A = this chain, B = another copy of it.
Amino acid sequence: MNIGQAARASGISAKMIRYYESIRLIPSVVRSESGYRHYAEADIHRLRFVRRARDLGFPVEQIAALLRLWDDRSRASAEVKEIALGHVASLRDKARQLEEMAAALQHLAATCHGDDRPDCPIIEDLAGGAARGHQHHARNGGA
């Protein structure tokens, strides 16, 4: 199987397959005499593993760790679980941060008329909280 077929079979673009190989996330595959990469079933499985892990938002570094654990038949499931739960925590943390920003901004937007008047609490907040109204500042604009 050439890289294009491997890409279609795994759901990872050829570009990314080469990239993953370059950073050693996946091993170098065999090449034909002319230099074409050749993928066997086991390689496709590995790529699909990577694909699923990416879909779950794992950073590449952690995927590397998961692949090592996959290869190690005797590792404790606790090791895998620890990585997984650590990642869950990090995902939740990021989600919470985004949600907090959204809530703050929505709160601000709720007090904005949103009509054709120029009055806007959102801009006023960004401009420095409740303190000032709207000081002008036309400046030496042209770079």
CA distance A95 to B93 in the complex (A): 10
Interface residues of A in 3-36 (CB under 8 A from B): 24, 27-30
Do B57 and A98 touch (CB < 8 A)? Answer: yes
Given contacts A118-B77, A136-B73, contact A99 B108 (CB under 8 A): no
B76 and A143 form a contact (CB under 8 A): no
Chain copies in complex: 2
Cβ A45 vs Cβ B139 within 8 A: no
Q: Does A60 contact B (CB under 8 A)?
A: no
- Rounded to whole Å, the gap between the CB of A29 and the closest CB of chain B is 8
B106 and A139 form a contact (CB under 8 A): no
Chain B residues whose CB sits within 8 angstroms of the CB of A78 once the complex forms: 113-116
Contact of A98 among B24, B98, B123, B137 (CB under 8 A): B98
CA distance A142 to B21 in the complex (A): 11
Task: Report the Cα distance A28→B135, complex, angstroms.
Answer: 19
The answer, yes or no, to whether A1 is at the interface (CB within 8 Å) is no
Q: How far is the CA of A126 from the CA of B10 in the complex (A)?
A: 13
- Interchain CA distance A82-B123 in the complex, whole Å: 12
Collect the chain B residues with CB atoms within 8 Å of residue A74's CB.
118
A27 engages B142 (CB within 8 Å)? yes
Question: Is B105's CB under 8 angstroms from A91's CB?
Answer: yes
Q: Which residues of B contact A139 (CB under 8 A)?
A: 27, 40, 42-43
